[in-house]
Amino acid sequence: MVSLSALYFVCSTLLSGSHAFEIEDVDVLNEKWGSDWNFAGITTFARLPTNRCLVDFNTTYDVAVVGVPFDTAVSYRPGARFGPRAIRAASMRQNKLRGFNARAGFNPYQNWAHVVDCMDISVTPMDNVLALHQMTEAFHNLLAHNTTHPEFGKVPRLVALGGDHSVVLPHLRALHSIYGEITVIHFDAHLDTWLPNKYPEGWDSSLGSGIGEFTHGSMFWMASEEGLLSKNCIHAGLRTRLSGTDYEDYRDDKEQGFLRITCDDIDDFKPAGIIEIIKKRVPEGAPVYISVDIDVIDPSAAPGTGTPEVGGWSTRELIRLLRGLGDLNLVGADIVEVSPAYDHAENTAMAGMQVAYELLTSMVMNRAKEGVHLDPSREELGLPASSYSEFKQVSKDEDHSEL
Ligand X SMILES: *[C@@H]1O[C@H](CO)[C@@H](O)[C@H](O)[C@H]1NC(C)=O
Write out the residues near ligand X by the rule CB under 6 A.
56-58, 146
- Nearest alpha carbon to residue 263 among 328, 302, 310, 228: 310
Residue closer to ligand X, measured from CB, 8 or 57: 57
Phi, psi (deg, nearest 5) at residue 285: 75, 0
Cβ count within 10 A of residue 303 = 18
Q: Is 373 annotated as a binding residue?
A: no
Q: Is 165 annotated as a binding residue?
A: yes
DSSP structure class, residue 317: H
Residue closer to ligand X, measured from CB, 5 or 58: 58
Residue closer to ligand X, measured from CB, 55 or 126: 55
Instruction: Tell me the H-state helices in 242-398.
Output: 248-255, 265-281, 315-324, 347-368, 387-396
Residue closer to ligand X, measured from CB, 85 or 154: 154
Q: Is 145 annotated as a binding residue?
A: no
Give DSSP secondary structure letters for 347-390.
HHHHHHHHHHHHHHHHHHHHHHSTT--PPPPTTTTT--S-HHHH
Q: How far is the CB of 283 from ligand X (least distance, A)?
A: 30
Residue closer to ligand X, measured from CB, 96 or 392: 392
Residue closer to ligand X, measured from CB, 56 or 255: 56
Q: Is 295 annotated as a binding residue?
A: yes
Q: How far is the CB of 180 from ligand X (least distance, A)?
A: 22
Residue closer to ligand X, measured from CB, 107 or 146: 146
292 three-state secondary structure: strand
C-alpha dihedral over 63, 65, 66, 68, to 10 degrees? 130
Q: 383 near 390, Cβ under 8 Å?
A: yes
Strand partners, 262: 238
Q: 166 near 334, Cβ under 8 Å?
A: no
Give the separation between CA 65 and CA 85, rounded to whole angstroms. Answer: 12
Neighbour order of strands in the sheet with 288-293 = 115-120, 63-68, 157-162, 330-336, 288-293, 183-187, 233-238, 258-262
Instruction: Tell me the H-state helices in 150-231.
Output: 168-179, 219-225
Q: How far is the CB of 329 from ligand X (least distance, A)?
A: 22
Please enumerate, by residue number, every residue annotated as part of a binding site. 165, 188, 190, 192, 293, 295
Please enumerate, by residue number, every residue annotated as part of a binding site for Mn(2+). 165, 188, 190, 192, 293, 295
